[in-house]
Amino acid sequence: MPRKHRPENAEYAAMLRRLVRSYGARLADADPDDLADALAIAAELEQAIANAVRQLRAVHGFSWADIGAALGTTRQAAQQRYGRAAA
């Protein structure tokens, strides 16, 4: 299956990683109550990943083996984690 490579995705991901590291440093220098915001961000990211898996499967036809390989895990582990979200 042909893959759509989007070079700007890697740059965007690198920017997000820098933001997350910076945010973590700010949290470490803040009030413990601010940790709830970090958990909300983590939940938002997990939902974004689940949505991406659903789209990759339903719209683009990628297999669980493709998804698992991209996540660095087995197809079974990917399906167990995201199968309900992708259904």
Is residue 2 domain-resident?
A: no
- pTM for this entry: 0.81
Q: With beta carbons less than 8 A apart as the criterion, state whether 82 and 50 touch.
A: yes
Is 66 domain-assigned? Answer: yes
pLDDT higher than threshold 90 for residue 86: no
Handedness of CA 24, 48, 63, 83 (dihedral sign): positive
- For residue 35, give its domain range: 7-86
pLDDT surpasses 90 at 79? yes
For the chain, how many structural domains are there in total?
1
pLDDT over 70 percentage in the chain? 91
Query: Which amino acid belongs to residue 44?
Result: E
In the block, tokens 């413990």 appear at 32
Rg over CA atoms, the chain: 16
Place 11 in a pLDDT band, splitting at 50, 70 and 90.
very high
For the chain, what is the mean pLDDT?
A: 91
What number is the average pLDDT over the span 61-83? Answer: 96
